[in-house]
Structure 1
Amino acid sequence: MMNITKHLILIFFTVLPLINFAQESSDFDCVDKFERLETGVKSQKTVSYKIISSQKLYTEESFEFSQGIVLISDLNDDLNPKELVKTIATIGVKNKLSKIIAFKSCRAVKIYYQVIKPTIEQKNYLEKNLIAKVDIDINKSLSKKERRKNKKKRDFIESVGIEVCEILTKGEVENFSQEKLSNAMVPKLSENIEEMMKVYDLSFEVSSDLFMKDLTFYLIDNCKIVNEFANKKE
């Protein structure tokens, strides 16, 4: 048990950047490392894109998918609406993004992130360079078995997350720290290792890493004290 606890503590510190993400939302590179993907669309056979940011979506059915901001560098302006949606949806399915906001310029992405009160010129530029907002029901395309598995994982994450949040809320809220978060999360993970292994159906190392990340995302979104800690200004 001591070795398991040490392993979980190590994993906790590898996911700390997730907690700090909200403070770094404008620190991105929208120039390098674009990916190319085949679309199945005749007039846009491939598309070059980069995911600028993504955030897990917690729904009633699953915790598998995310919402993301995507930059598409080579979109064909002559695509009809159906072709446009199919092109963006291909990116979504590939990257498990069920909600996408797609832009076609780096400047538009920067305005979207960095400008609290955009000028009229900036608003016009954003509108001109916003490709589309697309919602994709990826879960619907999965088999019943996959949907059940996703639902079971989602419910497991929620049950542990609620317990961790209750522990944190009962503690000293004023001086909340990463150490207090670790002290609440790690013991709960240790208590639920068997169930975790069943739900994730992977090795202990991989399962614990994924579960720690999923639990962290859940707490950021659904536990007030963690959300405020993640979004506090330095």
Structure 2
Amino acid sequence: MSNTQLFITQTRWVTYERKFMKKLLALIFLTYSSGIFSQNKSEYNCVNDFDEIETEVELQKTVRFKIISSRKLYTKETFEFSEGILIVSNLNEKLNPKEIAQVISTIGIKNNLSKITAFETCHALEIYYKNTKPNEEELNHLKENLIIELSLDINKSLSKKERKRNKKKRDFIETNGINACKVLSKNKPENFSEKDLSNVIVSESSKNIEKMLKIYDLSFEEGSLIFMKDLTTYLVDNCKIIKDFVERN
């Protein structure tokens, strides 16, 4: 086989492989699209399926909690952390404020939550999430059952290597997000649909498969899914046409 024929064969294979990867990415996006488009992950059930972890606080050896909702936070350093709304079911009444903060911080570090709002009762959560303005009695219940609002600098607890990896991922998402937003913004806002978003996200992902796999260091399916979720969340926060679409729907 001549060098020219070999080059043509290799080119055809690369073209075929890219088309195949694009179809596979589209299938992954389609399979998980019901959850991928949502900016917030929430499960408003504060009765069942609590998690339990150990703490280093003497009066609270273990703590039972449930993350009711979480939302990824985009910062200058990372896109790894989230803000979360929690319910904590077994907090010891004898804990002082410092110990409470330590217990809730343990939950945050274990679950990559850098901003936390924690409540003690389901009713407090109902008031927190209700669309109408709470009355005086509800406000009092909310204040009495708000455990803590806490911000954590989890990045400080990471190694230099981990921080560098997170920064690479964050920059990768931003670069692809800016490009995707430029393409999406060519649409008329009134004609924009979720299909437009799907097409652009799959297109951006397929252009950067090798780099994405290297940065996320996961299998193709896992890495692609997480990247597409991250990219979607970035766009919901930072791309006007997507923001407007989410608000309308």
- What TM-score does the superposition give when structure 2 sets the normalisation length? 0.89
Question: When the two structures are aligned, how many residues end up with a matched partner?
Answer: 231
Q: Deviations over 1:45-104 (max 9, x none)?
A: 001000000000000000000000000011011111111011000000111000000000
Give the aligned partner of residue 151 of structure 1.
167
Gaps of 5+ in 1: none
Structure 2 residue 227 is matched with structure 1 residue 227: no
Q: Deviations over 1:129-169 (max 9, x none)?
A: 00000111111110000000000000000000011111111
Structure 2 residue 71 is matched with structure 1 residue 50: no
Could you tell me how far 1:3 is from its partner in structure 2? Answer: 2.0
Q: Percent identity between the aligned chains?
A: 54
Give the aligned partner of residue 37 of structure 2.
19
Alignment partners' CA distance in 2, 1:144 and 1:34: 33
Give the aligned partner of residue 181 of structure 1.
197
Contact 1:38/1:47, CA 8 A, preserved across alignment: yes
RMSD after superposition: 1.5
Could you tell me how far 1:8 is from its partner in structure 2? Answer: 1.0
Query: Of the candidates 136, 141, 144, which is equivalent to residue 120 of structure 1?
Result: 136
After the TM superposition, which parts of structure 1 deviate over 4 Å for at least 4 consecutive aligned residues?
none
Q: Which has the higher contact order (CA 8 A, sep 6+)?
A: 1
Within a 5 Å distance, the mapping from 1:33-72 to structure 2 comes to: 33-72=49-88
Gaps of 5+ in 2: 1-17
Alignment partners' CA distance in 2, 1:156 and 1:20: 21
Alignment partners' CA distance in 1, 2:236 and 2:28: 17
Give the aligned partner of residue 80 of structure 1.
96
Q: Secondary structure at the match of 1:15?
A: helix
Structure with bigger gyration radius: 2
Could you tell me how far 1:229 is from its partner in structure 2? Answer: 2.0
Give the aligned partner of residue 8 of structure 2.
none
Alignment partners' CA distance in 2, 1:123 and 1:42: 32
Q: Secondary structure at the match of 1:125?
A: helix
Give the aligned partner of residue 7 of structure 1.
24
Alignment partners' CA distance in 1, 2:162 and 2:58: 31
Q: Counterpart of 1:2 in structure 2: which amino acid?
A: K
Structure 2 residue 140 is matched with structure 1 residue 140: no
Query: Of the candidates 113, 125, 140, which is equivalent to residue 109 of structure 1?
Result: 125
Alignment partners' CA distance in 2, 1:79 and 1:231: 41
Q: Counterpart of 2:29 in structure 1: which amino acid?
A: F
Q: Counterpart of 2:87 in structure 1: which amino acid?
A: L
